Structure 1
């Protein structure tokens, strides 16, 4: 079996050294990396499959996320987050597609989200999304053992593949270390 790609993390955001880490993976057949990439890298299409995002502001260069571009979107009812694309590598034969963005706010949290879209043997593709989160709200939630809702973010994103594109999933794996309630985050955010 070939070695599968992994997310390339900024040094200060390595999983295991952050307050929260989430990992989700799908492997599917009868699907191409290009089909996935077209939906993932084009922010103008996000609303067609991810209902937990709103107020999307495309980068100045257009709807496709390219390295160094800046875009905004709102999730969990938060004000729009300003995100900078850190990686954008279109998938090609033998090369994994990579997309990653970073955001931090003045209210004490930082998030880095990465995607990998790659071909596997026997006509399959692998879609991996992982996210690290830092900040007091994530530390506090981990102490309280509140383990539900940032899964909802990932489940929503992965809905792209379950509802919109993927017809046959060989394997569906959901993994998360610590998760938070979306309402709890909104309350904490609004108090700051």
Structure 2
């Protein structure tokens, strides 16, 4: 199975918080999943933890490689830049990742790397993987919570993405 392309800075196990969520679904098209993920206008229709989404390039609502955007999630206002964007064309594994951050002082500075993979499997199944690695005091605080809100929130994102893509 394919995996996330991590930079050394965000290598899982070396950061303050890391979560990984995966869903394997049947009777779903990879292009439908991709369209619901990389088009930010659809996020709020299936995931209630991403709001106030604003792209710098407002020509459309789709993410583009290198694009800067902002959104609110888990109570944090996040600035982000798309670092990887590979559509599922020609049987490729779809990839979307961004570096996100909240500027602040030593107590509020927050850096994340959030990545998604959408992979075709045998027998018409699709694998959706999302992982996030976080650095900063807010990440340490999230990691101490049980259950981990990031783990549950990202599972809701994947579950909502599957449901929206089946319609």
Determine if the TM-score, normalized by the shorter chain, exceeds 0.5: yes
Name which of 73, 86, 90 aligns with 1:89. 86
Q: Deviations over 1:120-164 (max 9, x none)?
A: 11111110000001112323554xx42221123212211323432
Question: In the alignment, what sits opposite 1:181?
Answer: none
**TM-score after normalising by structure 1:** 0.77
- List alignment gaps of at least 5 residues for structure 1: 168-192
Deviates more, 1:104-113 or 1:81-90: 104-113
Give 1:163's aligned residue: 163
Alignment gaps of 5+ in structure 2? none
The TM-score with structure 2 as length reference comes to: 0.88
Instruction: Indicate if the aligned counterparts of 1:59 and 1:65 stay in contact, CA closer than 8 A.
Output: no
1:114 partnered with 2:115: yes
Distance in 2, Cα, partners of 1:34 & 1:156: 20
In the alignment, is residue 46 of structure 1 matched against residue 43 of structure 2? yes
Determine the structure 2 residue equivalent to 1:130: 131
For the aligned residues, what is the CA RMSD?
A: 1.7
Secondary structure, in 3 states, of the residue corresponding to 1:113? strand
- Aligned equivalents of 2:118, 2:162: Cα separation in 1: 15
Query: 2: CA distance between counterparts of 1:68 and 1:152?
Result: 28
Shift of 1:66: 1.4
- Give the aligned partner of residue 147 of structure 1: 146
Between the aligned partners of 1:128 and 1:105, the Cα distance in structure 2 is: 24
